Structure formats: structure tokens, C-alpha cells
Chain A
Amino acid sequence: MTSAAGVGLKAEHFAEALATPAADLWFEVHAENYMVAGGARLAMLEAIRRERPISLHGVGMSLAGAADPDADHLAALTRLVERFEPALVSEHLAWSRLDGRCFPDLLPVPRTNEVLSRLDANIGRVQDALGREILIENPTHYLALRDHQWSETSFLAELARRSGCKLLIDINNVAVGAHNLAFDAAEWLKAIPGKLVGEIHLAGHVLDAEGTLLIDSHDAPVSDDVWQLYESFIARSGPVPTLIERDGNLPPFADLMAERDRAQSVIRGVLALAA
């Protein structure tokens, strides 16, 4: 896939997503939503895939957990990858499965040597099963965990070096975490080697009811501060495939495309500079 901007695909936007003539557009879906045996949802994705590149974004592999990736879940992901031949496959630096139970969330881990080894091993199993490199997304932070042995940026870079994965940098996650844990988002992003980054996510966030924590809610337009961080990052790293994520308060497709076009023009800007 060329370094272009894409949009998260929602069923509500299917007809417009299929019909839009936008050049270089691609779509991302949550892999788990398509791990069903048959029906209209899969048929819809087939139709989109005939027109556009897609990216499969997994939320349930629990790579940062103590257990190996679940064999059935990995098999389901493998089937999807074989069927849809996505341009990108990504997962999270998080856990969501424990003792036979699944949590529909991306739960955190301390950045220890033990966790680094587990992640490396689990990413290796997924990459071996799929026969390709995957991207790993940086988590959103709400909680200052104790027992970290690594800074986050060096942990991510080392994980990519060891496992051969690439990074999916969610700039909204960085901005939300920077607010909640009081670190500098711009400095954090400067410490990420651009050559390790295979995709960027941009999304909106909200302040929680108490007015203290930012929540990675994906239910608002991308904020101005996230756009600024994005522009600086792209200026440094060069063009990277960039996704506009939206899950709640779904606006008209045209509104998402307007955000997508803004990201596309940022990418075009650095391409023009490089030319």
C-alpha cells in the first residue's frame, strides 16, 4: 500500500465507501468483527476489498498476556488474512484474555523484561502463522503502573527490533496518555524511530465526567493538538499510511472523508518536499 490516508470502515457507510471515487483511499476494519462464518457482513467486506486495499486491525489476540495466542483465534485471523489479503495487519500491545475469560478492552502491562520476552514470543507466533510482518499499536494510558523497567519508546523500539514487527503509532493514544500521566507527547514521538512506523492512527478523545482523565473514546473529530503532533511526526518520518478512526457518534461519511483528506494533504506535503 502506498503511504496514503484511510478511514475506519463502518457498516452504516458501506454504500458511500463503495461508491467514493477518492484516489488512494483504503479502509481498516476490526478483524474480530469479521470472524463469522458467513453472511452480509463478510459479503460487504468482499465488495469493498474488490475496490480498495484494506487493513485488518485485531483487538483480541491478547499479545501482552502470559499465555500463548489462542489457537482458534489465531486460526480465525489466518483465514481472514488468506481470504482478504490485507495490505496491513495490526494488533495491540495489550492483554484481553485471562483464565478462560475475555475482556472487551485493551488492558495494560508493566514494561518489564519478562513482558518484552512474552510479547516478542507471541508476536513471533502470530507472524509465523500469518507468514508476514504485523504492526503493534502503542497503548492508551490511564494508570501509572509501577515496576516499569523500560521507557515506553525504547520498549517499543526494542520490541520491533527483536520480533521484526513494525509499529502502529496511535498519536491520539500518545496525546491522551501524555495528559493522563503528565509526559510530553512531542518528546515521546521524537523518540520513536520513523523507519519502524508502518501506520499511524488519528482519533478523537473526550474528558471524563470528573474532568481529570482524557478518554480515548473515538467519538469525536481528531483534536487540534493531535493534528499538530501528526504534522510534526510526518515531517520528520516521511509519509506513513494514516487512518482516521471513529467508533462513536458516527458522523456522515463525508465528514470522516474531510478528516481523511486533511491527513492525505499532510502526506502529500512531505512527498512534495522530498521530490
Chain B
Amino acid sequence: MLLEFQREFAAAIGVPAEGAMRVYRNTVLSGCVDALRANYPIVTRLFGDQMFEAVAVEYATENPPREPVLALYGGAFPDWLEEQMWIWDVAYVPDVARIERLYIEALFAVDAEPLEIGALTGPDEGWRELRLALHPATRFDWLAMPGMSIWLAQREEVERKIDVDWQPEGVLLTRPALDVVSMSLNRAGHRFLFGIRRGEAVGTAAVAATTLCPETDIRSLFTSLVNAGAFAAPSPRSLP
């Protein structure tokens, strides 16, 4: 009986309703919209609040929450946006949404100590064999659109004309302490992190990165990734 009641009730608030049923329907939908707005603030600003709400209601109707914790709700939103016919007018938005998703994942990831550059004191030869773990908050991606440039400009919350170079770009987000850190990646940086993620030794990943981009200063790339907090502090034994 109770199960039947619940199913009938869910069906009744699944379509536009009047009176009390509208109150329940609105609360459910606005809970989803508020969670999406919180997780995609730059997309909200790019769309404007009214359009974002309409888009979010449509997304939430097709992709309702599967768990009561909404801090990470909307994981499929960037891909869903890309599938919408109308997105062609604003084709850069899905990549901005992808960055916002990586940001949220980094924000709520497990806390961990980052690898400090000072921990790498051994001879350079030793680094080649070193196997590093990414910091648990580290997220990176290679995007077809310059979403990072747009995201960074929007985050500054200033009205200005953005001078965007419409080229693919890489993005790194991580959280070595309480604040999320972001960094643009070139192809070499992306390839290097990709190698580390799949378990390559630092030397192997470095060779792959410099093969892809021969002009890369691999030492300075590696230093900037360590300083950003991209890697987890290893156990003392695993250092050279």
C-alpha cells in the first residue's frame, strides 16, 4: 500500500500540477535548480538566471538526483548541454561547464598533503624512476574550446571584453589545502599528467610530453605542476 501511494504521488508531481501538488512539485524542482546553480555559477551567469532556470528544469526532469546529497549533483550536465540543439549558438558553454564540474570535484575531494618541491632533493637521475600519485583533488582535461580563459575571466566578475584565442586548451584544478587552485595546461602539461595518472614513471611521462611538444622546458613544467599541488605527498621511502 505505502509503495503504491509513493508511486502515485511521485507520478502526480512529475507533471504540472495545481494547489498543494504544485507546492511539492515546485519544491522538488527548485531543489534541483538551486543545486545546479550552486555547482555551475559561471554557466548561470553566461546564460542569465532566467534561461539557466529553464535549462536546469529540463535537465533535472531528465536526470533527477540519485542520492540525497546534492553537493555533487549535475555530473552529467556538461555532456547533456553539449547534446542540446540550441547549444550551437554558445558552443563554448559545455566546456565552461566541464571546468566548473572539475572545480566542484576538487572542492569536495579528500583532503591530502601535496608533494612539496623541497621533498625532491635527490639527483635528477633519481626522478626519472620516480612514480608519483596525483593529489586526490587533482582534475585535468583537454578541451576543444578555450573554456579556461572564459571561466577565468568570468570568475574575476568584471565586465570586460574578453580577448579569447579560440584554440583548444588544457585545464588543471586541484586543492592542495582549502582553496581550489587552477592552471592552464598546454599539450605537454596535459600529456605529462595523463602519464602520471596511468602510472608512468616521471621520466617516461616527461619523454612523452617533450616528444609531443619538443620546445617544452620539462623542468619548469614539472616544477609548476608540483607548485600547483597536482601531486600527493609520497611516503618518504618512495622518494629518491
A residues neighboring B (CB under 8 Å): 32-33, 35-41, 43, 59-62, 65-66, 70, 72-73, 76, 95-105, 107-110, 112, 114-115, 118, 142-143, 180, 208, 212-213, 215
- B69:A36 contact, CB within 8 angstroms: yes
What string of 1s and 0s marks CB contacts (under 8 Å) between B1-24 and chain A? 111011101100000000111011
Contact of A114 among B1, B10, B31 (CB under 8 A): B1
Given contacts A36-B71, A101-B66, contact A112 B108 (CB under 8 A): no
When distances are taken between beta carbons in the complex, the residues of chain A under 8 Å from B224 are none
Question: Which residues of B pack against A, CB within 8 Å?
Answer: 1-3, 5-7, 9-10, 19-21, 23-24, 27-28, 31-32, 35, 64-72, 107-112, 136-137, 175, 178-179
Given contacts A65-B2, A66-B3, contact A32 B68 (CB under 8 A): yes
Question: B9–A107 contact, CB under 8 A?
Answer: yes
A102 touching B175, Cβ below 8 Å? no
A40, A102, A110: the one within 8 Å of B65 (CB):
A102
- Cross-chain contact A102 with B64 (CB below 8 angstroms): yes
C-alpha gap A39/B177 in the complex (Å): 8
CB distance from A64 to the nearest CB of B (A): 8
Residues of chain B with a CB closer than 8 A to A98's CB? 6-7, 10
Which of B23, B69, B136 sits near A60, CB closer than 8 Å? B69
Contact A103 B10 (CB under 8 A): yes
Q: A101, B64: Cβ atoms under 8 Å?
A: yes
CB neighbours of A143 from chain B (8 A) = 19-21, 24
A39 to chain B, nearest CB (A): 5
Q: Is A39 within 8 A of B31, CB to CB?
A: no
User: In the bound complex, do residue A32 and residue B69 qualify as a contact, i.e. CB atoms below 8 Å apart?
Assistant: yes
**Bound state CA distance, A76 and B71, in angstroms?**
14
B20 adjacent to A180 (CB under 8 Å): yes
Cβ contact of B19, chosen from A66, A70, A95, A213, cutoff 8 A: A213
Q: Which residue of B lies closest to A142 (CB)?
A: B20
Of all chain A residues, the one with the shortest Cβ separation from B31 is A104
- In the complex, which residues of chain B have a beta carbon less than 8 angstroms from the beta carbon of A66? 2-3, 6
Cβ contacts under 8 Å, A105 to chain B: 24, 27-28, 31
A109 partner residues in chain B, CB cutoff 8 A: 2, 5
With A40-B179, A142-B24: A33-B71 Cβ-Cβ less than 8 Å: yes
Cα distance A114–B5 in the bound complex, in angstroms: 12
What 3 pairs between A and B have smallest CB-CB spacing? A60-B68, A104-B31, A38-B111
Which residues on B sit within 8 Å (CB–CB) of A59? 68
Distance to closest chain A CB from B105 (angstroms) = 10
CB distance from A146 to the nearest CB of B (A): 10
Count chain A CB atoms within 10 A of each CB in B23, B64, B72, B107 and give the residue with the most: B23
Rounded to whole angstroms, the CA-CA distance of A66 and B35 in the bound complex is 26
Contact indicator B65/A39 (Cβ below 8 Å)? no
Q: How far is the CB of A133 from chain B (nearest CB, A)?
A: 22
A115 to B5, CA, bound (A): 11
Residue of B nearest to A103 (CB): B28
In the bound complex, CA of A154 to CA of B31 (Å):
31
How far, in Å, is B82 (CB) from chain A's closest CB?
24
Q: Is the beta-carbon distance between A37 and B110 smaller than 8 angstroms?
A: yes
A62 CA / B67 CA spacing, docked (Å): 11
CB of B68 within 8 A of CB of A110, answer no
Point out the residues of chain A lying under 8 angstroms from B112, CB to CB: 38
CB distance from B22 to the nearest CB of A (A): 9
Interface centre among B20, B31, B111, B178 (most CB of A within 10 A): B20
Do the beta carbons of A39 and B178 come within 8 Å of each other?
yes
A96 to B31, CA, bound (A): 12
Known pairs A38-B108, A66-B6; A107 contacts B71 (CB<8 A): no
From known contacts A60-B69, A66-B6, A103-B10, infer whether A39 and B64 are also in contact, taking CB-CB under 8 Å.
no
